[in-house]
Chains A and B, each alone.
Chain A
Amino acid sequence: MSSFPTDLRYTPDHEWLKSQGTAWRVGITQFAVDQLGDITLVDLPHVGDLVTKGQRFGTIESVKSVSDLYAPVSGKVVGVNATLKDAPEQVNSEPYAAGWMIDIEPTEASEMSELMAHDAYTKHVAAQ
């Protein structure tokens, strides 16, 4: 079982968030990456798009499957990792760094408190 970084917040859908000033950086966890296998396509929204917690903001395709990416919080997209368009394999190799997906500036502060800390997420994964 992989261990998860302690400085991140997590969702039950296996996304991570990292504070970047006023914005939160979003990616998927090693657990999600292990489930997906080799990633072949990542489709992301555009800077300026609005996303709603729990709604689809993009898709991720691996050799064997396609999955939706769900917004972990509501807000405005203020950054997009454009390098994933040509190098989706970065999500496999560095899910917490070069494999990041979008930066969201949250609009609903209350939603932030619903995110899981490292130990809660570790338990969540162990129960899968």
Chain B
Amino acid sequence: MDVLRKTPLHDVHRQLGAKLIDFGGWHMPVQYTAGTIKEHKAVRESVGLFDVSHMGEAYLRGGKAREVVGKLTTNACESAPVGKAVYTLLCRPSGGVVDDCIFYKRGDDEFFVIVNASNQNKDLDWFREHASVDCGVDDVSDQTALIAVQGPKAVAMVDRLPGDKAGTLSAMPSFTFTDAEIAGVTCVVARTGYTGEDGFELACSNHDAVKLWGALLEVAGPLGGLPIGLAARDTLRLEAKLPLYGNDLDDDHTPLEAGLGWAVKLDKGNFLGRDSLLAQKASGVERQLVGFTIDESLRSTARHGYAVMENGATVGVVTSGGPGISVKGAIGLAYVPARLAGVGTELSIDCRGKSVAAKVVSGKFYKRAKV
């Protein structure tokens, strides 16, 4: 039997009564004692803490770092201002997606990147394959912990903790980052997340993870905050229509098909996949990832892998789906032929032998109130 990998917070999760599962080779909390629905709501209404230390982190450094990052990424990560975090796809020459990730520009000669846990080795190999003598790839995944603090109370809560930049973190714009000391721990603080809520993602050394988590949980508790497991992380990201690699994104679908054209800058100069994506843009996509809702009255949930049907034939597939928690009914994402992708189109989904009507909708399922 393979030994499951553990994050530096593994013992803390056990003490908190988490239910731990094998998640891609990692022993991770799927939920804590409150359960998924309460955890989900805590993030929507207050604040939640996520241990996402299983994710991979690396630095690309050197005189050619800007050039290499430009070649690897579909978004304009390389030309972003220093201090900016940029969501991007990594594409194959075919346009298929190697991974989606965020690059943090520290300088033209230094970029930090956080990648999906399940793709860590694949991504690092991909970086090294396309890096050059003048751009080293430094995998720091094994030394780096990552804690996400998400929810309407997250930013003010973190900003109140003692630290060298205390009181100034709230002013950070979305998708920026800074180095800061929080509760005595040196962190990379990024105003990013995967929940549809405001918040931070804090990267720190493994050695400091327990200390940082403890400091955060201590102030989160009185606010109604909770530690959040992977099950709620999935329901939260789906309501915010944030794609999950392996479900909604993969090597066989392009960012244009996935509706991520906004993160593909075809005019930024050459990058891996550009030629294929240019051609696809010119000819139009044949299939598209769409969001759909199933009315509450139908009492049905479409899940990953269910078929989208048309006249008795399978024409598409649900890539993510589940019950809405902060929205009514069931929600999901599906790849469908472009002719069925229009907003308002009625889809028929085979939910375990039952044909269930779903409606194509645009935008996020859940939108947080603007403060």
Within 8 Å by CB of A41, from B35, B37, B235, B301, lies B301
Complex interface: chain A residues within 8 A of B231 (CB): 37, 63-64
The minimal Cβ–Cβ distance linking A90 to chain B, given in whole angstroms, is: 13
Given the contacts A37-B231, A40-B323, A41-B323, A63 and B36 also touching, CB distance less than 8 Å: yes
- On whether the beta carbons of B352 and A38 are closer than 8 Å, the reply is no
Q: How far is the CA of A63 from the CA of B233 in the complex (A)?
A: 12
- On whether the beta carbons of B323 and A66 are closer than 8 Å, the reply is no
Given the contacts A37-B31, A63-B322, A63-B325, A43 and B36 also touching, CB distance less than 8 Å: no
Residue of B nearest to A85 (CB): B299
- On whether the beta carbons of A63 and B299 are closer than 8 Å, the reply is no
Number of interface residues, chain B, beta carbon within 8 A? 16
Complex interface: chain B residues within 8 A of A65 (CB): 303
Number of interface residues, chain A, beta carbon within 8 A? 14
- On whether the beta carbons of B35 and A38 are closer than 8 Å, the reply is yes
- On whether the beta carbons of A92 and B35 are closer than 8 Å, the reply is yes
Q: How far is the CA of A43 from the CA of B353 in the complex (A)?
A: 15
Residue of A nearest to B323 (CB): A40
- On whether the beta carbons of B35 and A43 are closer than 8 Å, the reply is no
Q: How far is the CA of A51 from the CA of B235 in the complex (A)?
A: 34
Given the contacts A37-B31, A40-B323, A41-B323, A64 and B36 also touching, CB distance less than 8 Å: yes
Given the contacts A37-B31, A37-B231, A63-B36, A43 and B299 also touching, CB distance less than 8 Å: yes
Chain A at the B interface: SS class: mixed
Within 8 Å by CB of A38, from B36, B234, B301, B303, lies B36
Complex interface: chain B residues within 8 A of A61 (CB): 301, 323
Complex interface: chain B residues within 8 A of A34 (CB): 19
Given the contacts A40-B301, A41-B323, A43-B299, A63 and B37 also touching, CB distance less than 8 Å: yes
Q: How far is the CA of A63 from the CA of B239 in the complex (A)?
A: 13
- On whether the beta carbons of B325 and A41 are closer than 8 Å, the reply is no
| B-contact bits for A94-122, CB 8 A (1 contact / 0 none) | 00000000000000000000000000000
Residue of A nearest to B37 (CB): A38
Residue of A nearest to B31 (CB): A37
Given the contacts A38-B37, A40-B301, A63 and B352 also touching, CB distance less than 8 Å: no
Which residues of A in the span 40-73 have a Cβ within 8 Å of any Cβ on B? 40-41, 43, 59, 61, 63-66
Complex interface: chain A residues within 8 A of B235 (CB): 63
Residue of A nearest to B322 (CB): A63
The minimal Cβ–Cβ distance linking A125 to chain B, given in whole angstroms, is: 16
The minimal Cβ–Cβ distance linking B352 to chain A, given in whole angstroms, is: 7
Complex interface: chain B residues within 8 A of A63 (CB): 36-37, 231, 235, 322-323, 325
Which residues of B in the span 32-81 have a Cβ within 8 Å of any Cβ on A? 35-37
Given the contacts A37-B231, A40-B323, A41-B323, A66 and B301 also touching, CB distance less than 8 Å: yes
Given the contacts A37-B35, A61-B323, A66 and B299 also touching, CB distance less than 8 Å: no
The minimal Cβ–Cβ distance linking A91 to chain B, given in whole angstroms, is: 12
Count chain A CB atoms within 10 A of each CB in B19, B235, B301 and give the residue with the most.
B301
Complex interface: chain B residues within 8 A of A37 (CB): 30-31, 35-36, 231
- On whether the beta carbons of A66 and B352 are closer than 8 Å, the reply is yes
The minimal Cβ–Cβ distance linking A36 to chain B, given in whole angstroms, is: 10
Residue of A nearest to B232 (CB): A63
4 tightest CB-CB pairs across the interface, nearest first?
A40-B323, A38-B37, A63-B36, A38-B36
Residues of B within 8 A of A (CB): 19, 30-31, 35-37, 231, 234-235, 299, 301, 303, 322-323, 325, 352
Residues of A within 8 A of B (CB): 34, 37-38, 40-41, 43, 59, 61, 63-66, 89, 92
19 residue pairs bridging A and B, Cβ less than 8 Å apart: A34-B19, A37-B36, A38-B36, A38-B37, A40-B37, A40-B301, A41-B299, A61-B301, A61-B323, A63-B36, A63-B37, A63-B231, A63-B323, A63-B325, A64-B231, A64-B234, A64-B322, A66-B352, A92-B35
